Amino acid sequence: MSKQLVAVSLMVAAVSLTAYAGKRERDVMTKETIPAMRDAEAKYKESCGCPLAINVDDTLQSTDEFRTAKNLAKNVSENVAKYCSDAASKKALCQMKTLTVTKGHASFTFKDGHGVAMENGQEYTTFEMMTRVLDK
C-alpha cells in the first residue's frame, strides 16, 4: 500500500471517529456527568453547609473519561453526608470552594480553596482521597 493511500485512509478514519464521538461525548456529558456533578454540589451544600462548584476541564474528551468524572461525582454524593457529621469535618471540607476534574492518574491536590481531582477514564479520585488531603 502506498504512503499516500495510508495517509488518506488514516485521515478518513480520524474524521469519522471525531464526528461520531463528538455527539456521543456531548450526550454523556450533558445527560450523565453534569447531572451527577450538580447532585454532588447539592448534597455537599446540604451536608456541609457550604457551596462547592464542580467542573470538568477540557482535558477530558472521551466518553470513558466523562463517565469516570460522573463516578467521581457520585462518590462524593454517596459519602459526603456521612463525613460532614461534625463541626471539625465541616470546617475541613468547607475550605474547598471549587473542584476541577481533569485528566491524569487518580490523585487530588488542594490549594487556596481549589481542589483538583484527576482521573483517566479507568480510575478516578475517590472522596476518601480528597478528605485525606482536606482534613489534615
User: pLDDT tens digit string along 49-92?
Assistant: 999 999 999 899 999 999 999 999 999 999 999 999 999 999 99
Residue-wise pLDDT tens digits, 103-126: 999 999 999 999 999 999 899 999
pLDDT at 22: 86
Any idea where the domains of the chain sit in the sequence? 3-134
Question: Which pTM value belongs to this model?
Answer: 0.82
Mapped onto helix, strand or coil, the DSSP state of residue 113 is: coil
- If pLDDT is split at 50, 70 and 90, which confidence band does 21 have? low
Query: Torsions phi, psi of 100, nearest 5?
Result: -110, 130
